[in-house]
Amino acid sequence: MRLIIIFLMFTNNILAEEIIGIPRIIDGDTVHINNFKIRLEGIDAPEIKQKCKKEKLKISSTLGYTFFEDYNCGKNAKEKLKAKVNDSNIKCISFTKDRYKRYLATCFKEELNLNKWMVRNGYAVAYRRYSKKYVLDEDFARKNKLGLWKGKFLKPEKWRKLN
């Protein structure tokens, strides 16, 4: 059973919408709750068809060779978000929509900010063009070689322009 609740909140004269329900995960930064299309604000996850490279073999020598193999990082991002949500209700808080009429929102599973979780674990990057909110989380993932940062990848925005 899918639950959907919409609250209109007035915070500092700004209208916020709260959408609650069990989402259908579309990709690493998009979910649908019933007829509501929601884009996780401030993050950019690889596209479903996007391929990235991960370390396959590292040879430690004076030359330091590393061999990489392709993997579907877009599908991986989707699966990681899907597993984290695990058919639970989430709450998405939106203050605006994008040009495609999707709600731009920060989504939570209980107290966990899912946008932040995706970036901090390296399954998405901070979408710096629109927000600096998750830059420190991206820095953490990069420094610790988590998710995408274990290998090589094009930022999703660049990949979209090339494909």
**pLDDT of res. 58:** 74
**pLDDT of res. 1:** 46
**pLDDT of res. 7:** 52
pLDDT, averaged per 10 consecutive residues of the chain (163 residues), comes to: 51 76 98 97 98 85 78 98 98 96 97 98 97 98 97 97 95
For the whole model, what pTM was predicted?
Answer: 0.88
Q: How far apart are CA 116 and CA 135, in angstroms?
A: 10
Q: How far apart are CA 156 and CA 145, in angstroms?
A: 18
Residue 80, both tokens: 């990681």
CATH of 5-162 given 2.60.40.10, 3.90.550.10, 3.40.50.1000, 2.40.50.90: 2.40.50.90
Q: How far apart are CA 57 and CA 68, in angstroms?
A: 7
